[in-house]
Amino acid sequence: MNLRPSLFWDTDYASINWEHHAKYVIERVLHRGTWEEFKSMLAFYGQERITAVIKRLRYMDKRVMHFCRVYFNIPLNEMRCYNIKQSKIVHWDY
Q: Residues 34-90: pLDDT tens digits?
A: 999 999 999 999 999 999 999 999 999 999 999 999 999 999 999 999 888 766 666
Residue 10 pLDDT grade (very low, low, confident, very high; cuts 50, 70, 90) = very high
Total number of domains constituting the chain? 1
> What is the rounded distance in angstroms from the CA atom of residue 4 to the CA atom of residue 48?
24
Asked if residue 27 is part of any domain, the answer here is yes
Asked if residue 93 is part of any domain, the answer here is no
- CB neighbours of 49 closer than 8 A, spacing ≥ 6? 22
The range of the structural domain enclosing residue 24 comes to: 5-86
**Higher-confidence residue: 14 or 87?**
14
Sign of CA dihedral 2, 25, 85, 75: positive
Tell me the pTM: 0.86
Asked if residue 92 is part of any domain, the answer here is no
Question: Quick one: pLDDT at residue 92?
Answer: 62
Question: Quick one: pLDDT at residue 91?
Answer: 64
> What is the rounded distance in angstroms from the CA atom of residue 28 to the CA atom of residue 52?
15
